[in-house]
Amino acid sequence: MSLFAPLTLPNGAIIPNRIAKAAMEENLADADHAPSAALIRLYRAWGEGGAGLIITGNVMVDARAMTGPAGVVLEDDRHLDRFRAWAGAMRAGGGQAWMQINHPGRQTPAALAQDALAPSAIALDLGAQSKRFPVPRAMTADDIADVEHRFATTAALAERARFTGVEIHAAHGYLLSQFLSPLANHRADRWGGSLENRARLLVDVVRAVRAAVSPGFAVAVKLNSADFQRGGFSPEDARAVVAMIGPLGVDLVELSGGSYEAPAMMGASRDERTLAREAYFLDFARDIAAVATMPLMVTGGIRRRAAAEQVIAGGVAMAGIATAIAIQPDLPERWRRGGDDAPALRAITWKNKPLASSAHMSAVRYQLARLSRGRLTAPNVSPLWALITAQLAAKRRARRYRRWITARAANAP
């Protein structure tokens, strides 16, 4: 199967090729936490770059629960014109445009001064960096019902904004992933204990989202193939969850892995000298494919055409690319023309993996910021410099967010 063969989804929608621009957190929202002109400019570069599928970074279903201080929020129709402009930029080259929808749970930064919710009151363990996140409050049944409703509302709004699908984020240690993990979920009620109970919220969210959108609108799920923590969500659990959501109208499952505590999803934390290690979730995907009734997508470290081709040849439907396409937004088009570009950031060899993960994400966001201003990327940026500048920017944005959320609460009816 060619990288440039179309893929027909279970709902009948067609993705024109097998390359996806995977989600990356941009932190480029405007003052209203809607898509800014810079964010739209960034996505037009990807929209014109040849990827068959373009997935946004996190769009939050609750303004009080953010993964970062300058994230996009979609709770109502006040700024749908900006979201339509965003979707239009993504679809400029004929690709599918999906919105990734998310709730961070306990991975809500403490600097934002909001209550963090989680299945259980268990804090993140990041060593010296643990103070960056508050101890969460265990969710009530009403909290859980509210989250389910919010995912469905945001999905329906995404369809009104002319996106062609949504991806429900249930990976990387965010809220739905927390419910799945026996390390983060110690509940003794219907949402805890057995895997069936721990998967209940995800299953209910998928059902609610599918019911809120039209049949031709794609519904995807991003799932960890494993948490990479002893006693956490395992590959066997992932197989079982994929089987659970198969009958619910899911059009694609993206497989990744890790969390803030064990950042396996960061390519910089892996040895990328071989093709097998470059596509480092491929073995998990091959195992899960045995029970999957929907197409699978693998994301994690892919930066060479040969690695992407290996993914497709292995029976996986889509190859998701993040860091490499942040450096070179027209990478899919270059590959289609026969090029063999393999963009990469400067290697990070720090022993502190959470810190190295933060530096890697900062270096990626440095590229996104440059593209959003119409500038060339700078893949050789110092990871330390990128981290420091990102932390300073995050402090400024956190202050702006706190002012915004306070004013918003004061003006609420």
Domain ranges of the chain: 7-410
Give the tokens for residue 31: 């003052």
pLDDT value of residue 271 = 37
pLDDT in tens, 170-184: 999 999 999 999 999
Instruction: Give me the chain's average pLDDT, please.
Output: 92
Question: In angstroms, what is the C-alpha Rg of the chain?
Answer: 19
CB of 297 within 8 A of CB of 318?
Answer: yes
- Specify the pLDDT at position 281: 72
Q: Which residue has the tokens 């003006």?
A: 411
Span 198-223, average pLDDT? 98
Rounded mean pLDDT, 314-318: 93
Each residue's pLDDT tens digit, 12-41 = 999 999 999 999 999 999 999 999 999 999
pLDDT-based confidence at 131, cuts 50/70/90? confident
pLDDT band for position 268 (cuts 50, 70, 90): very low
The pair of structure tokens assigned to 185 is 């979920």
pLDDT at 272 over 60: no
- pLDDT (mean) for 329-345: 96
pLDDT band at residue 273 under the 50/70/90 scheme: very low
Helix (H) or strand (E) holding 20: strand 19-21
Which among 150, 133, 139 is positioned nearest to 60, based on CA atoms? 150
Encode pLDDT of 348-407 as tens digits.
999 887 788 889 999 999 999 999 999 999 999 999 999 999 999 999 999 999 999 999
- Confidence (pLDDT) at 129: 75
Residue 202 CB neighbour total at 10 angstroms: 24
| Measured distance CA(311)–CA(225) in Å, rounded | 15
pTM of full prediction above 0.85: yes
pLDDT single digits (tens) 27-82: 999 999 999 999 999 999 999 999 999 999 999 999 999 999 999 999 999 999 99
Task: Give the residue carrying structure tokens 């290690």.
Answer: 277
pLDDT band at 221 (very low <50, low <70, confident <90, very high): very high
Superfamily of domain 7-410: Aldolase class I (3.20.20.70)
Neighbouring C-beta atoms of residue 346, cutoff 10 Å? 15
Q: What is the pLDDT of residue 287?
A: 85
What gap in Å lies between CA 138 and CA 103, rounded to an integer? 15
Average confidence (pLDDT) over 242-253: 97
- H helices of 161-271, where? 175-180, 195-198, 200-212, 235-245
Q: Is 238 exposed, middle or buried (0-12, 13-18, 19+ CB in 10 A)?
A: buried
**Of all residues in the chain, what percent carry a pLDDT higher than 70?**
93
